[in-house]
Structure 1
């Protein structure tokens, strides 16, 4: 069964955004993930229905950069590493090149990344 696993959002102020969603939408928050090599930091917020929002921050993202503030990716949960691999290579064969992965990320996700026809980033994850 394929389901949307989470939606990612680039933020200017990670703590302020975390506090907003926790306060006004009753989200529970994960521990802060930080990758010192890339400068990437994120929180996963979980809402009462199980939906999740990943708040992302990287200091090199500023107005006018390649990555922009706002929604960054849509993640689909596929249920297994094998299914991630299968679908990633299927998309590649269909003309949608794998941008990253399949791999295990620093925060423990097994994922592959592709772009949809309009360049929106899609994460295929377990």
Structure 2
């Protein structure tokens, strides 16, 4: 067996820029409350949440009129691994209640890979997913 020589333990955090801080703050506050995250810290025009392992930050963009476009160089999507397929379905129901845009509905996208894809207020694609639970709910 090869020795693991990676010095990276995990991805500590992601930080994104948003065009409308208050709108994104409301979206992410509701999302992270649903996902079981807590507020890590908040500064003027910047806020972060954590579940103890993953940290996600938003901050006001300097050029809010420069819109993100899916398919362009840069961010593709960020995936939250959930505990079960049932959690994926519950996330989708929550997102619909919130009026969030579902990009691709909850489904099996690859063998034993169940996910829902959705957009944040700036059109950044996010995903709630579960793999390794074939046939389970």
Q: TM-score range by the shorter chain?
A: 0.3 to 0.5
> Which structure has the bigger radius of gyration?
2
TM-score if structure 1 supplies the norm length?
A: 0.47
Give the TM-score of the pair, scaled to structure 2: 0.44
| Higher RCO, 1 vs 2 (CA within 8 Å, ≥6 residues apart) | 1
